[in-house]
Structure 1
C-alpha cells in the first residue's frame, strides 16, 4: 500500500498534478485520494485504473495493487517461508511486470524508492524460502534486483547499480538462468557506456553475448554493442567482423519471441543498437538511418520512454556530422 502511494504521488507530481487537481480530473473525493496517496487507505482497483488513465502509465499502477486473496497469500508466505506456494510467486511476478511497465512511462528517480522497497521484501523472502517453488522465486528476485540496478543506472547512481547487478548475476547463476545472467551483464555494459569506458563496454557486452543460455536476440544486440566498444578503442576491423557475426543471427533472433524477462528485444530495438554501433564506426549516414527508423518504429507507448534519450542524443550527434 505504501509503495503504491509513493509511486502514484511521485507520478502525479511529475505530470504536474496536485491532489486536488487529480481528484477533480478523475471525479474523486480529494480527501479519499489524499488518504490513499499518503498510505493511510488501500487503493481500490478502480482508482488505480483511473490513475493509470490520467497518467498514461499503461495499467502499471493497477498491476501493483494485489487482490485481497493475493495479499493474504503473500503475507502467509512471509510469515511461513517454508510454505511458499505458486500463487505467491505468481503475485510477486505480476507486481514486477507492473514495475517494468513503469520503466517505459515514468522517470527512474520516481520509481526507484518503491522498487528498492519491493526488492528488499522479495529478496528477504527468498533467504528463508523452501520447497519446490523456491527456484521460481529466485528468478523473480534476480529480475527484481536487476531491474533495481537498471533504474539506478539510468539515474547515474553507478556504484549502487553495479553492486545490485552483480547480486542479480549471482542469483541468475544460482538457478542456471542464462537469459537473466546475460541481461545483468548487458546492464553493466550500459553503465560502462554512460561512463565512456570503451574497454569496459566491449568487455561486458561481449561477456553477455557469450553467456550460455542467452537468447539469440540478446546475443545479436550484445555483439553489436561490444563492437561499438571495439570501434571506440580503434579496433575497427575487429568491430566490423563482430557486426558480420551479429548479422548472421538476425533471422534466428527474429524467428523467436523475445524472452519474457527482456520483452523489449525486438528487431526494432536491435536496429537502435546497430545505430549506436555504426555511429562508433564513423558511418554517420547509416547511423542516422538506423536510429531514425528504429525510433520511428517503436510502439506508441515506448516512443517517449526515458531510456530512449540515449538513442535520441546519438541521432543528434550522427546528424551533426553526417
Structure 2
C-alpha cells in the first residue's frame, strides 16, 4: 500500500458518495490544498486525517486498518525495495503484503467494490510481477498472497457485475492457488464462480461450481458447509428436491467442525453467516418460514462493517420474498 493507493481508494469512495474533494475538505475542516496533496499521493496522511476520512465514509475502522502500513516508513521502504529488487524478498515483506490485502478485503465490505477496485487492480499487477521474478524460501508464502489477491480482484469484478473479467481472473486464481497448493484458496475461487452463476440465474452452473468447491481437497469445513448449502440452493432451483435435501444434510453434518475459526482467506464464514446460505436454500425449496428465519438471523448478526455491504442486497431481497410469501 502506497500513499497513492490510499488516495486513489479514498477518491473513488468519495466519488461513489457524490462528495467532491472541496466538500470533503470543508466537512472535515481541513485545507482543500492539503487534502488534495494527500489524496493524490504527494503527501502521507496523518492518523487524525485517516480517522476523519474513515468516519466520513462510514468505513467502520477499515480505512484506518488499510492506512496502517503508511505509518511505518520501514514497511513502506521494505516493500518498495523488494518490488524493485525481488531477490530481497523476505518474510516481513510477504507479511506486510498480506496485511494490506486483508485490509482491502475488509474495506470492500464497508465501502463497496467500485471504490476498492482501481487500487486492487494496480496492486495485483505489482504482486503478480513480483511473483514471476522472485525465488528463494519465501516464494511459496508469496504465491499464497498473490493467489488470494487475484481471487479478490475477481470477486470485486463479480460484485460490480463485470462477469466476463471476473471469470478470467477467477480461473487465473485457481491456477495460482494450485501452484501454491492451497486447497482453501482453490475452493474459494470455485465458490466465487458459483456466485457469478447465481447472479446470472444459471442453476446448473450453480450446482456445478459449488459442488466442485465442496469436493476440493484441503477446503476448510466452514467452506464445505457453505458450498454444500449453496449447491443445495442450485438443486432446489432446478426442482431436484431430493438432491437439495441431501446436500443440506451434508451441510448439517459439517456444522460442528465449521464452527471453528474459518481461514483468514474466508473470514466471513461464521456460523451466523452460514444462515444466509441456508435461507436461500430453503427459499428455493419453497420453505418460506424457515427461509425468513435464517435470513433475518444471518443479516442481523453480521458485523458492523458488513451490515451495509453491497453483497447483502441479494439476501435482503430474498428475505422480502420469503416474508411476502
Smaller-chain TM-score bracket: over 0.9
Match of 1:139 in 2: 144
Give yes or no for contact 1:83–1:131 (8 Å, CA) kept in 2. no
> Does the CA-based 8 Å contact 2:57-2:111 persist in structure 1?
no
Offset, 1:3: 1.8
Q: Which residue of 2 aligns with 1:216?
A: 221
Q: 156, 164, 168: which is aligned to 1:151?
A: 156
Q: Are residues 75 and 300 of structure 1, via their aligned partners in 2, closer, same or farther at CA, if it must alter by over 3 Å?
A: closer
**Alignment root-mean-square deviation, CA:** 1.4
Any gaps of 5 or more consecutive residues in structure 2? Answer: none
Quote the Cα distance in structure 1 between the aligned partners of 2:78 and 2:39. Answer: 24
Cα distance change of structure 1 residues 74 and 35 upon mapping to structure 2, 3 Å threshold: same
Is 117-126 or 16-25 further displaced after alignment? 16-25
The partner residue of 1:61 within 60, 63, 73 is: 63
1:103, distance to aligned residue in structure 2 (A): 1.3
Look up the match of 1:167. 172
Q: Between 59-68 and 161-170, report the one with greater CA deviation.
A: 59-68
The offset of 1:13, in angstroms, is 2.7
> Bigger CA drift: 12-21 or 197-206?
12-21
| Structure 1 match to 2:28 | 26
Aligned: 1:266 with 2:296: no
Task: Determine if the alignment matches structure 1 residue 44 to structure 2 residue 49.
Answer: no
Q: Which residue of 2 aligns with 1:12?
A: 14
Cα distance, 1:72 vs structure 2: 1.1
Equivalent position to 2:285, from 281, 284, 289: 281
Residue 250 of structure 1: aligned partner? 255
Q: In the alignment, which of 93, 105, 112 is matched to residue 107 of structure 1? A: 112
Q: Distance in 2 between matches of 1:46 and 1:126?
A: 35
Quick check: 1:89 aligned with 2:94? yes
In 2, distance between residues paired with 1:116 and 1:191? 19
- 8 Å CA contact 1:57–1:101 kept in 2: the answer is no
**For structure 1, which runs of at least 5 residues remain unmatched after alignment?**
none
Superposed CA offset, 1:163-192 (max 9, x none)? 111111111111211111110000000000
1:44 positional shift: 3.0
TM-score of the aligned structures, taking structure 2 as reference length? 0.95
Cα distance between partner residues in 2 of 1:211 and 1:220: 12
Asked if 2 retains the 8 angstrom alpha-carbon contact of 1:228 and 1:239, the reply is yes
Tell whether the 8 Å contact from 1:58 to 1:101 is kept in structure 2 after alignment. no
The CA deviation at 1:36 is 1.5
- 1:298 — aligned with what? 302
User: What residue is the counterpart of 2:319 in the other structure?
Assistant: 315
Please say if 1:236 is aligned against 2:241. yes
What is the alpha-carbon distance in structure 2 between the residues aligned to residue 7 and residue 96 of structure 1?
13
Q: Which of 124, 128, 135 is the matching residue for 1:119?
A: 124
What is the total number of aligned residue pairs between the two structures? 320
TM-score scaled by length of structure 1:
0.95
2:59 is paired with a residue whose SS is coil
